[in-house]
Structures are given as structure tokens and as C-alpha cells.
Amino acid sequence: MSKSIEINGKVYPSTISLAMDLVGGKWKAVILYHLKDGEKRYTELKNEMSFITDMSLSLYLKQLRDDNLISRKSYGRKPPLKVIYSLTDLGKTLIPVLEAVDHWGSFILEQQNENSR
């Protein structure tokens, strides 16, 4: 029987469930993937992910920041502020995983296209 894991007051049945809590959901991994090549402003992220709502993007950015996967830097004191998002050192450790998932998604798409011919 496996032993549960407790981190930051949350209990997980496995390290897989811990990892999926951090990057799971519809948009978290997509946001992280868009930040893998460097920092971006909010509007750049929004433009690259046109299907995400402002509310969802803001919520997921906050969650990713709270989980120390991304950082948020503000420049200026009065609106409009310049806000930049980037991967933290912990977030950068996900780059090979994100690229592998992207590769696997492309493989699935190729298989689907071959099967529909």
C-alpha cells in the first residue's frame, strides 16, 4: 500500500496526483508551454491563446504563481502597469515534459489523420 504525500497542507495519494494538481486542467500546461521560450506580457499570452477568457487566464496565472511555477514582475506604479510573466527555475524543469506532451499530441494528430484517410 502506498503512503500518501502531504505538501503545503494538501494530501496526495501519489506523486502523479501532486504533479497533475500543479499542471492539470485545461489551460495550465498551455500557459506554461507559451512561457517556455521566454517572458511574456499578459496581452501576448492572451493573443496566443485566443480561446481562453480573461477570467480564466487571470485565475490560472495566479494559481501558477502561487505554486511557484511562474513569476510575475510589475513595472511602474500607476496604471497601465507593465506586467511580465516568466517561468521560475521550478517551472523551467517542466520544459522537457511540456515538449514531450506536445510531441505526443502531434503523434496522436498524425495517427488520427492517417486513420481518417
**Is residue 2 very low, low, confident or very high in pLDDT (cuts 50, 70, 90)?**
low
Among the listed residues 33, 45, 25, 8, the one whose alpha carbon sits nearest the alpha carbon of residue 91: 33
Q: What percent of the chain has pLDDT over 90?
A: 81
Domains (range + CATH), the chain: 27-115 (1.10.10.10)
Could you give the C-alpha distances from 117 to 19, 58, 107, 111, in angstroms and in order? 37, 41, 16, 10
45 CB-side CA count, 13 A: 28
Average pLDDT over the chain, rounded to an integer: 93
Question: 35 by DSSP, 3-state: which?
Answer: helix
With 90 as the cut, is the pLDDT of residue 79 above it?
no
